[in-house]
Amino acid sequence: MKFLDLAKVYIRSGSGGAGCTSFRREKYIEYGGPDGGDGGSGGDVWAEAVEGLNTLIDFRYQQHFFAKNGTPGMGKQRTGAQGSDIVLRVPAGTEILDEDEETVIADLATPGDRILLAEGGNGGWGNLRFKSSTNQAPRRANPGQPGVERTLWLRLKLIADAGLLGLPNAGKSTFLAATSNARPKIADYPFTTLHPNLGVVGVDDAEFVIADIPGLIEGASEGRGLGDQFLGHVERCAVLLHLVDGTAQDIVADWQTIIDELDAYGGALADKPRVTVLNKVDAMDEEMREALAAELAEVAGPVMCMSGVSGEGVAEVLRALRAQIGDDRVRRKAEEEAELGEAGETGWTP
């Protein structure tokens, strides 16, 4: 299934049905009077966050959503039927933006969240509504109100507990593949990750979700590369895991590039808790490892060492991430799974 995190939709609520102009016509009843019914209300357009979805790909193939119109009123004081509502089912974490792509109308962060996007038009009054002591035979009725037509943008921000950051080929996909059942593309060239990946990892009988986004480059916040399209996916994370390639020529410059892009992007990303990790330490000896870690720690603060390939230091990194995630976001493994040793089904466990 293709990942899609931005979609444009056109919606229209239903128009109200017209009121009816009618008079009672029965044998032996000389003055039947008006009996025209009201028109039915038009259907509403709703958006609802549901479970089981993690992409907006359905809105690539259907962009137009129109609610049903209300039916006109009829004689014998019969009210027209109300138009059926229509519901746009979106993944949890979807933001609904106005046509300008900047004004946020709603943020459906959790399953079950609903928002009314376009209200249906009211049905018109029939001539029975206009009857009075001075106008006992009104011959007028109101038309129904028109529906509301809007153009909206849907933008998905994945719900993850931890987010992976780093330059291309920093080892993010390798780390995700080593710690979870996710199988992102891994290769020795930049930008092997073209869309975000999610993985569930487990440590110390606790599980949380990690999001791997495409690598950032200098100028990503201004639209260069792929990172600016996906930085929004880590806005909801409780903690960021910043991986620095230990085999790079200048690890401090690489670290600073990512920090500058977080500052430029805004959205409080730069203020989120971060765990800085010197990755690929399996490719260096102990002396070089300590020297590089000390150099990076001078600018980044505490630095952990890890190798996603050999597994060295992975457990410690996962525990550091777990310590920054609130208990309300962490899922505990079921006792029966722990007894049967089924933790490996959800991810890597130290």
Return binding residues for GTP: 166-173, 191-195, 212-215, 279-282, 307-309
Phi, psi of 185, deg, nearest 5? -70, 135
CB contact at 8 A, 105 and 97 = yes
Count of H helices and E strands in the chain? Answer: 7, 15
Cβ neighbors of 277 (< 8 A, separation 6 or more) are 241, 242, 243, 244, 303, 304, 305, 306, 313, 317
What contacts 57, CB < 8 A, 6 or more positions away?
Answer: 1, 2, 3, 4
Single out the residue of 207, 161, 215 nearest to residue 338, CA to CA.
Answer: 207
Give the C-alpha separation, 197 to 184, whole Å.
Answer: 7
Q: What gap in Å lies between CA 242 and CA 265, rounded to an integer? A: 16
Write out the binding residues for Mg(2+). Answer: 173, 193
Indicate the annotated binding residues. 166-173, 191-195, 212-215, 279-282, 307-309
What's the rounded Cα separation, in Å, for the pair 324 and 341? 26
Report the SS3 class of residue 335. helix
Task: Compute CA distances 84 → 66, 70, 74, whole Å.
Answer: 10, 8, 19
- Tokens (6 digits) for 237: 């994370």
Distance of alpha carbon 293 from alpha carbon 261, whole angstroms: 22
Residue 283 to residue 248: CA distance in whole angstroms: 11
Phi first, then psi, for residue 116 (nearest 5°) are -85, 115
Characterise 43 by phi-psi region: left (phi > 0), alpha (psi -120 to 50), beta (else): beta
